[in-house]
Amino acid sequence: MSALRTAYPPIEPYASGRLAVGDGHEIYWELVGNPKGKPAVFLHGGPGAGASPGARQLFDPALYNVLLFDQRGCGRSIPHASLEANTTWHLVADIERLRTEVMGVERWLVFGGSWGSSLALAYAETHPERASEIVLRGIFAVRREELLWYYQEGASWLFPDKWERYLAPIPEAERGGLIGAYRKRLISDDPAVRLEAARAWALWEGETITLLPNADFSKEFSGDEFALAFARIENHYFVHAGFLEEGQLIRDAGRLRHIPAVIVQGRYDIATPARTAWELHKAWPEAAFHLVADAGHAYNEPGILHHLIEATDAFARR
């Protein structure tokens, strides 16, 4: 059996900046790799998480020219944690502006994981002519049943101790609708109330996305600045069902069937359970599908990372 592939070495951007996209938003972007390499765009999760330095290492730097950016309101984009003019369709338009105004390319490989897979599907289904290839990980279609599983009850059966901490900011009388109850607190005028809710929301996710405990995720997700943007923006999107029609992303997958693609999913993914990936696989059978037997949700779990690196390497040779 061949050894598992691992990430490429850490790399710094060769260019970076902010792009004004309207509505008071400025999007942070960076370019890494070979300026003459195969163009690609990386779409981070959350929404609200920002692009981490580790995402740069998913592409061969000698062969790829990769654009990474922080979506509206998070990471190094400004204004921080803003919910104004912040929807899926604003982000789809931002991606197109980045393609034309920063990269200046006709087509590029589209890579997205978790919420990034949702955004990648929304973007590619809107602009299929712009996607040369697609790589998806931890498939999330933002359907009601998926949101209820992770934020209302289902996942609590596996993590009752962590669930108890997630429930703590919400009075018992409001626990019948946790996403809405969190919304009230995350947009509160009281900064202490906002921050308490943000920490609890973010830590719930940070401590349940890997198959085995990972202290690095716990630390990252519990930081005040990260948690505030992450929780506010993520909750804002989920209150509005991702600004999508129910089932839209899988329904419209037929628009992508001509595009070479790879789907990677962890069998024990609690955040975005495997059934969604399986349903996308059935709707899009031409895409290569890898169900990793010993993995949860995070991109850097060994089996998931192996298939992601294999995919980007293979597409670099096309």
Among the listed residues 236, 297, 306, 307, the single catalytic one is: 297
Q: Is 189 a catalytic residue?
A: no
Rounded Cα–Cα distance for residues 114 and 121 (Å): 11
Kind of pairing between the strands at 25-33 and 64-69: antiparallel
CA-to-CA separations, 30 to 14, 33, 103, in angstroms, rounded: 8, 10, 10
3-state SS, residue 164: helix
Q: Is 114 a catalytic residue?
A: yes
Q: Is 94 a catalytic residue?
A: no
Among the listed residues 77, 82, 114, 156, the single catalytic one is: 114
Q: Which residues touch 147 (CB under 8 Å, ≥6 apart)? A: 179, 238, 241
| Residue 273 preceded by cis peptide, ω within 30 | no
Among the listed residues 269, 290, 306, 307, the single catalytic one is: 269
Rounded Cα–Cα distance for residues 103 and 96 (Å): 10
Rounded Cα–Cα distance for residues 314 and 80 (Å): 37
Q: CA 8, 13, 19: angle at the middle one, nearest 5?
A: 135
Q: What is the CA radius of gyration of the chain?
A: 18
- Catalytically active residues are 114, 269, 297
